[in-house]
Amino acid sequence: MKLPQPTPARSTWVVGDIQGCADAFFALLEQTHFDPARDRLWVAGDLVNRGPGSLAVLRWLHAHDDAVTAVLGNHDLHLLACDRGFRKLKRRDTLAPVLDAPDKSALLDWLRRRPLLVREGGFALFHAGLAPSWSLADACRAARDAEALLRGPRADELLARLRGEAPVWAHSLRHVDRCVATVSVLTRMRACSEDGALIAHVGPPEACPAGARPWYAWRDRSADATLLFGHWAAHGHRVGRGWVSLDSGAVWGGLLTAWRLEDGASVQVPGLVGPDALR
């Protein structure tokens, strides 16, 4: 896609799920003429896994921390849980080079300190979804609690819980349970029921099971920020009323998408191709 002219003096690009597609990621940086001294990069989570270049992606983001705002996705948390021994690598995981890297502790320490939700300048960025009952202020409060737990000395209490079922989010949940539920909503939700229970669904949003809708469809459309999210490859890159979806399935042979906050321009590059692409 060609960029409209003139381009803003300083661009803020938000990129969808990179998932270790390092070649596509670096191609996207070139296509957007990204300059870390001038521009900013927002990353919608799932920086790593399934693609072959998770280590290169993590190293670049870590090295350009001043220009990068990245939120955590479910694959990023899976990496942290594997490192702590709470989860095991699955057949299609490609995280071993990160776990074996000499700079692993610097990279994972940086990753563990990423936020779950960022709200800035009329935009809110998170990996997956928001609970129907949350205002944006509620979502920020819930995210800050879970982030504090993950960054602190009790992080293992959260990471250990990632292998099990999360409770449906409710304010009345006890602290760690509530943080587990918060992480589940922010990093795993696609379709949900009206009470905020996650409904397993990986197909397109038009094909949600009975009683389920895309999480944003339960929300008041006059929310005070544009919601930026990934996690839903079959959803693809779309610009809706009050939201922009950014996961265009790079790891599944689709595209890697960047969308510019200043003017809504989008740039896409091919993700994994040929035998590297997942099926």
Instruction: Give the binding site for Mn ion (CB under 5 A).
Output: 46, 73-74, 231
With contact defined as beta carbons under 8 Å apart, do 66 and 115 qualify? no
Q: Based on CB atoms, which residue is closest to Mn ion, 74 or 248? A: 74
Q: Least separation, in Å, of the C-beta of 222 and Mn ion?
A: 27
Comparing CB distances to Mn ion, the nearer of 265 and 272 is 272
To the nearest whole angstrom, how small is the minimum distance from the Cβ of residue 36 to Mn ion? 25
Q: Which is nearer to Mn ion, 48 or 142 (CB)?
A: 48
Residue number with the shortest CB distance to Mn ion? 231
| Nearest one of 27, 61, 49 to 99, comparing CA atoms | 49
Q: Which is nearest to 19 in space by CA: 229, 268, 258, 251?
A: 251
For residue 201, the minimal CB distance to Mn ion (Å) is 13
Instruction: Name the residue nearer to Mn ion (CB basis): 184 or 226.
Output: 184
Comparison of 71 and 267: residue with beta carbon closer to Mn ion: 71
Cα of 35 vs its chain's centroid, Å: 22
Q: How far is the CB of 43 from Mn ion (least distance, A)?
A: 12
C-beta of 70 vs 265, nearer to Mn ion: 70
User: Between residues 43 and 265, which has the closer beta carbon with respect to Mn ion?
Assistant: 43
Query: Minimum distance from CB of 247 to Mn ion (Å)?
Result: 7
Which tokens is 251 given?
């790891």
Least separation, in Å, of the C-beta of 44 and Mn ion?
A: 9
**What minimum distance in Å lies between the beta carbon of 244 and Mn ion?**
16
